[in-house]
Amino acid sequence: MYIFHIGDNFSIVTVWVNDILIFATSIELRDKTVADIEAKWEVTNIGEPTKIVGIEITTTLDSITILSKQYIELILQKEGMDGSDFVSTPLDPNVALVPNPEGESGSCSNSFARLLGELQYIVNTIRPDITYAVNRLASYTANPSLQHNIAVKQILRYLAGTQSHGIVYKAHPQQKNLYGYADAAYGNADNRGSTMGYVFLVADGAITWCSKKQIATALSSTEAEYIALSESA
């Protein structure tokens, strides 16, 4: 990623293999950035982007929407779940996930780990709503049980009903604030550790998010929340 400043305006150039995306705070700066690139390298300008690395992009005069409907469809088809019934949550809150009771050592090259890796890409790029569920199941990739495989199928069933969900960024010319939220669930992990999560938003859309076990050990719910705020800062 490259950032260029001219006064208060700036442009951001992102590069993925041989694909380039340009973001700019003004049309003039965007055109200058494009002209500078074309002057140095042979490139093809295909105009407004519609898709890059599995992320579908839709733009209007006052919004940008990103989603991964086609990528999700491919995963569902590969798992034979493209016609499955929908569920309203990615993880059943009434089911307590536990380590494999058989206690056998496994391998991170299993199909469960592969599927979680595919879902992790969606988590990192487009779907903060399944972040906790995917990262929770990632704790069992080395030795998944039937319970864990059933749980990951629930995530797929949830995605089957929400394929068109994505992130919408709305234009607010007078509003440039960054908003952040953080919280923690005290002692809810297998080892009684706490799980924290945060999300930051700009233009009404999420730009970064996380759900993970806390590094430090909290002795109360208040301390768990304080750690969550500290680690998200």
pLDDT for 224 equals 47
pLDDT value of position 3: 85
Give dist(CA 20, CA 37) in Å, integer.
Answer: 10
95-119 mean pLDDT:
81
Mean pLDDT of the chain, nearest integer: 85
Among candidate residues 93, 167, 184, the one with its CA nearest the CA of residue 123:
167
Residue that has been written with the tokens 């002692």 in this structure: 187
The predicted model gives 27-36 an average pLDDT of: 90
Q: For residues 34 and 24, what is the distance between their CA atoms, to the nearest angstrom? A: 10
What's the mean pLDDT in 63-91?
Answer: 93
Q: What residues does each domain of the chain span?
A: 2-47, 67-161, 175-232
Q: Can you tell me the mean pLDDT for 51-59?
A: 91
Among the residue ranges 24-33, 65-74, 144-153, 158-167, the one predicted with the least confidence is 24-33
Whose tokens are 């694909």? That residue is 19
pLDDT at 97 over 90: no
| Closest C-alpha to 184, from 216, 222, 219 | 222
Q: Which residue has the higher pLDDT, 2 or 31?
A: 31
Q: Two tokens at 6?
A: 């001219």
pLDDT by residue (tens digit) across 79-96? 999 888 999 999 998 888
Which of the residue ranges 103-112, 164-173, 190-199 would you say has the lowest mean pLDDT? 103-112
Percent of the chain at pLDDT > 90 equals 48
Is residue 56 within 8 Å of 67, Cβ to Cβ? Answer: yes
Cα–Cα distance, 226 to 224 (Å, whole number): 5
CB 228 within 8 A of CB 183: yes
